[in-house]
Amino acid sequence: MMRVDHAGEYGANRIYAGQMAVLGHTQISPLIQEMWDQEKQHLRKFNEILAENRVRPTLLLPLWNIAGFALGAGSALLGKEGAMACTVAVEESISEHYNSQIRTLMEIDPEKYSELLQLIKEFRDDEMEHHDTGLEHDAESVPGYQLMKAIIQAGCKAAICVSERL
Amino acid sequence: MAALIRGLRAGRVLRGLGSVAVQGTLSPQCSNVRRGFHRAALLRLANDSKSDTSVPPPSYHEVDTAGESSSSSAHGESSEDAQPNTSFQDQSGEHGEDYETEEQLQARILTAALVYCVCVVNAAPSESTGWRFTTNHRPGFTDEMLIGRCLQGRNCISKKTAEFLRDAVEMRLRMLIPYIDTWPRAMSILLLPHNIPDSLKHLSTMVDDIWYYAGDRSTDVNWYTRRAALTGIYNTTELVMVQDSSPDFEETWAFLDNRIKDVVNMANTAKQVQATGEAVVQGLMGAAITLKNLTGMNQRR
- Complex confidence, ipTM: 0.82
Q: Are A47 and A101 in contact (CB under 8 A)?
A: no
Query: Would you say A1 and A58 are in contact if contact means Cβ atoms under 8 Å apart?
Result: no
Q: Which residues pair with B122 in a beta bridge?
A: B134
pTM given for the model: 0.62
Report pLDDT digits (tens) over A109-140. Answer: 888 888 888 889 999 999 998 888 888 887 77
CA distance A20 to A92: 20
- Residues in chain B with CB shorter than 8 Å from the CB of A112 are 29
> In degrees, to the nearest 5, what angle opens at C-alpha B221 toward C-alphas A98 and A52?
55
For B219, the closest of A50, A62, A112 (CB atoms) is A50
- Return the percent helix, strand and coil in chain A, to nearest 5: 85, 0, 15
Asked if residue B286 has pLDDT above 90, the reply is yes
pLDDT tens digits along B114-171: 333 333 222 333 322 333 332 333 333 333 333 333 333 345 667 788 899 999 899 9
Lowest mean pLDDT among A24-38, B30-44, B119-133: B119-133
Under 8 Å CB-to-CB from A93, ≥6 apart: which residues? A152, A153, A156, A157, A160
- Torsion angle of the four alpha carbons B202, A10, A74, A70, in this order, in degrees rounded to the nearest 10: -30
**What chain B residue is nearest to A2 in terms of C-alpha separation?**
B219
Please name the residues in contact with A151: beta carbons below 8 A apart, sequence gap of 6 or more.
none
The answer to whether the CB atoms of A57 and B212 lie below 8 A apart is: no
B73 pLDDT band (50/70/90 cuts)?
A: very low
- The predicted structure's pLDDT at residue B284: 95
Identity of the residue numbered B257: D
Task: Delineate the domains of chain B, giving CATH numbers in brackets.
Answer: 104-115+141-269 (1.10.357)
Residue-wise pLDDT tens digits, B234-275: 999 999 998 888 888 899 999 999 999 998 898 899 999 999
- Please give the pLDDT value at position B101: 57
Q: Is B248 left (phi over 0), alpha (psi -120 to 50) or beta?
A: left
Cα–Cα distance measured from residue B274 to residue B264, given in angstroms and rounded to the nearest whole number: 16
Give the mean pLDDT of B89-118: 45
User: Angle at the Cα of B219 (from B214 to B220), degrees rounded to 5?
Assistant: 115
CA distance B81 to B294: 71
Closest CA relative to residue B12, chosen from B244, B255, B191 = B191
- Binding-site entries of A: 9, 39, 42, 91, 127, 130
Q: Give the count of Cβ contacts less than 8 A between chain A and B.
A: 24
Phi, psi of B121 (to 5 degrees): -120, 125
| Chain A positions in Cβ-Cβ contact with residue B223 (cut-off 8 Å) | 56-57
Contacts 24+ apart (CB under 8 A), B107-114: B109/B65, B109/B69, B110/B63, B110/B65, B110/B66, B110/B69, B113/B61, B114/B57, B114/B59, B114/B60, B114/B61, B114/B63, B114/B140
The whole-angstrom distance between residue B1's C-alpha and the CA centroid of its chain comes to: 22
Alpha-carbon distances, residue B279 vs A78, B15, B274, B282 (angstroms) = 31, 45, 9, 5
* 3-state secondary structure (DSSP) of residue A1: coil
CA distance A38 to A16: 11
Contact A51 B220 (CB under 8 A): no
pLDDT of residue B156: 61
Determine the straight-line distance between the first and last CA of chain B, rounded to whole angstroms.
Answer: 65
Beta bridge partners of B120: B136
Quick check: helix, strand or coil at residue B136?
A: strand
Is residue A78 pLDDT above 90, yes or no?
no
Evaluate whether B47 touches B107 at the Cβ level (below 8 Å).
Answer: no
Q: Which of A6, A51, A62 sits opposite B217 (nearest CB)?
A: A51
